[in-house]
């Protein structure tokens, strides 16, 4: 075991130059990087999303954006190209900004900016912002500018949403108000066009129809009674030659008619008023008879058939006059009944149409009421946002000018590079020695072939073989180094500056 260890140590010493080369390159690069990295100062600030200042059950804001979502939106807006370039120019973050294209400026600003948020159930929503720069004042100024723009963007975002909500509901109220007026006009126009056949007056028209039907039946009865009376008078006169049985004190026909009309008038006044058409007709007839009785000479009751004939003619004329009046009344009643029947038949269709119009009106009215209520809430929400009483972002910790650099940790980087180079050198030499399966001593012959050699002769390389081997190894190492250096140069020029990458890596590692 000890012999094997000594043997491998002697083999390793043959590769001491490779170990020194690898360890020197890596350690030297780490030391050079540690002292070439610029000093970076980091300034940071802490923001808190505060809940609404007014209880939601009393008045609430119309902006319903979740706190985490709100911070994400603000972060996206903050890290836009226009904002980053504007901040870089305003605060002179990059010394020679004129020599950099906008993509490089944006990449540099984003690489040096770190934004992190934390939130959760029953936890406060926080945002931490930091910026790394070679000058302490510049790093603090950039963070404070970030905070200023975040607060402005938050206020602008919430107020804009509240104003948009209010404008929407105000437009809804105006539009629905116009629709409501138009629907009211349609309902009014329909009611005016069908005022005689509306469902509201159906009960009155049905009652009026019943009264007219009763009046028509009464007129028909009166007409039948008059016709029967006329026929009876004619028959009596033809049989007896007289209009009534003889009496000791005989009244004239006008007087008898007058008495009968007065009795009939008394009966009608017990039921109808003075304005009733039938009452007015009876009063006119009574007045006519009274005038006639006052103008006629007194006739003896014992006169002959001429007097009876005259009385018959008078009574027949009276009956015909009453029948004519009743005929006119019947015509008027039938006309009114026909008109009422037409309106009653049109009422169901009008009721359906009016219900549809009224239903549309009620729907629009309900939407209008909702819009008015929404506009009132939106106005309250806008007022809350204008006074900054809703959800808002508050600064817990303002960015201050750092007094100590945040990175790099030069001793740690240099020491870590030297340790890494040493370990890499040892590892590389160890791999070369262990992976080389060439037979190099008698023990290798015994293990591989299972024989005991009597004697061994070492293989002695010529100078040419040694030179070629060293040239090949040196070429491989030089090519690998050139490839690595070229790749790093390409990344630094075409993709992103390696200094920024190193700064960000060491910042994340706390170096």
Indicate whether 477 and 353 sit together in one domain.
no
- Pick the residue with more confidence: 465 or 331? 331
Token digits of residue 54: 């007014």
Q: Does some domain include residue 12?
A: no
94-98 average pLDDT score: 67
292 sits in which H/E element: helix 277-295
pLDDT in tens, 299-352: 444 444 555 567 777 878 888 888 888 899 899 999 999 998 999 999 999 999
This prediction has a pTM of 0.53
Q: Does some domain include residue 324?
A: yes
pLDDT in tens, 253-275: 777 777 788 777 777 776 677 77
Residues contacting residue 165 through CB under 8 Å, at least 6 positions apart: 62, 63, 378, 381, 382
271: left (phi over 0), alpha (psi -120 to 50) or beta: alpha
Indicate whether 221 and 315 sit together in one domain.
yes
Q: Which of 175-184, 193-202, 315-324, 385-394 is predicted least confidently?
A: 385-394
Last residue of a domain, one of 338, 366, 381: 381
Indicate whether 469 and 373 sit together in one domain.
no
Indicate whether 475 and 364 sit together in one domain.
no
Last residue of a domain, one of 381, 413, 439: 381
109 sits in which H/E element: helix 102-112
pLDDT band at residue 296 under the 50/70/90 scheme = very low
394-419 average pLDDT score: 79
Q: Does some domain include residue 71?
A: no
Q: State the CATH number of the domain containing residue 350.
A: 1.10.287
Distance CA(442)–CA(446), nearest Å, equals 6
Asked whether the predicted pLDDT for residue 298 surpasses 50, the reply is: no
Indicate whether 248 and 341 sit together in one domain.
yes
Residue-averaged pLDDT of the chain: 78
Q: Does some domain include residue 261?
A: yes
Q: Domains in the chain: how many in total? A: 2
The answer to whether 150 touches 47, Cβ cutoff 8 Å, is yes
pLDDT in tens, 66-92: 777 778 888 888 888 888 888 888 888
Nearest to 140 by CA among 397, 506, 408: 397
CB-CB neighbours of 385 under 10 Å = 25
Bridge partners for 80 per DSSP: none
Indicate whether 244 and 354 sit together in one domain.
yes
The answer to whether 220 touches 408, Cβ cutoff 8 Å, is no
Indicate whether 371 and 472 sit together in one domain.
no
Last residue of a domain, one of 381, 411, 444: 381
What value, to the nearest 5°, has the Cα angle with vertex 436 and ends 433 and 442? 95
Range of the domain at 265: 199-381
Asked whether the predicted pLDDT for residue 8 surpasses 90, the reply is: no
- Pick the residue with more confidence: 483 or 222? 222
Annotate 313-332 with b (16+ C-beta within 10 A) or e (fewer).
Answer: ebbeebbeebbebbeebbee
């Amino acid at each position: 075991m000890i012999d094997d260890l000594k043997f491998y140590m002697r083999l390793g010493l043959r590769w001491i130059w490779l170990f020194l080369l690898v360890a020197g390159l890596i350690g030297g690069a780490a030391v050079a990087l540690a002292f070439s990295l610029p000093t970076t100062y980091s300034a940071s600030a802490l923001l808190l999303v505060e809940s609404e200042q007014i209880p939601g059950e009393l008045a609430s804001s119309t902006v319903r954006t979740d706190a985490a979502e709100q911070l994400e939106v603000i972060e996206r807006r903050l890290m836009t190209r226009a904002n980053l370039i504007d901040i870089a120019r305003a605060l002179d973050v990059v010394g020679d900004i004129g020599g950099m294209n906008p993509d490089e400026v944006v990449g540099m600003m984003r690489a040096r900016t770190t934004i992190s948020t934390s939130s959760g159930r029953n936890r406060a929503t926080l945002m931490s912002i930091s910026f790394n720069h070679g000058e302490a004042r510049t790093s603090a100024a950039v963070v404070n500018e970030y905070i200023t723009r975040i607060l402005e963007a938050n206020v602008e975002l919430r107020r804009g949403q509240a104003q948009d909500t209010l404008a929407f509901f105000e437009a809804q109220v105006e539009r629905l108000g116009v629709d409501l007026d138009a629907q009211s006009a349609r309902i009014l126009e329909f009611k005016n066009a069908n005022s005689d056949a509306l469902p509201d007056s159906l009960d009155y028209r049905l009652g009026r129809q019943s009264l007219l039907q009763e009046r028509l039946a009464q007129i028909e009865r009166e007409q039948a009674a008059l016709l029967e009376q006329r026929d009876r008078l004619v028959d009596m006169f033809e049989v007896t030659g007289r209009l009534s049985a003889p009496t000791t004190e005989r009244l004239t026909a006008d007087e008898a008619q007058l008495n009968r009309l007065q009795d009939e008038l008394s009966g009608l006044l017990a039921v109808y008023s003075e304005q009733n058409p039938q009452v007015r007709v009876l009063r006119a007839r009574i007045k006519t008879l009274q005038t006639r009785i006052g103008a006629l000479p007194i006739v003896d009751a014992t006169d002959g058939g001429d007097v009876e004939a005259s009385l018959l003619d008078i009574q027949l004329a009276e009956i015909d006059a009453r029948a004519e009046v009743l005929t006119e009344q019947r015509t008027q009643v039938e006309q009114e009944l026909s008109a009422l029947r037409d309106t009653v038949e049109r009422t169901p269709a009008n009721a359906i149409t009016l219900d549809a119009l009224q239903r549309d009106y009620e729907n629009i009215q309900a939407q209008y009421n909702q819009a008015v209520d929404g506009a009132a809430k939106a106005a309250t929400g806008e007022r809350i946002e204008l006074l900054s009483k809703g959800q808002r972002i508050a600064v817990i910790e303002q960015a201050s000018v750092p007094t100590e650099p945040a990175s790099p940790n030069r001793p740690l980087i240099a020491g870590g590079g030297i340790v890494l180079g040493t370990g890499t050198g040892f590892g590389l030499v160890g791999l070369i020695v262990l992976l080389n399966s060439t037979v190099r001593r008698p023990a290798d012959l015994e293990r591989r072939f299972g024989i005991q050699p009597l004697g061994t002769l070492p293989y002695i390389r010529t100078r040419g073989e040694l030179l070629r081997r060293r040239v090949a190894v040196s070429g491989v190492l030089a090519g690998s180094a050139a490839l690595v250096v070229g790749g790093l140069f390409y990344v630094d020029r075409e993709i992103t500056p390696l200094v920024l990458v190193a700064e960000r890596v060491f910042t994340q590692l706390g170096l």
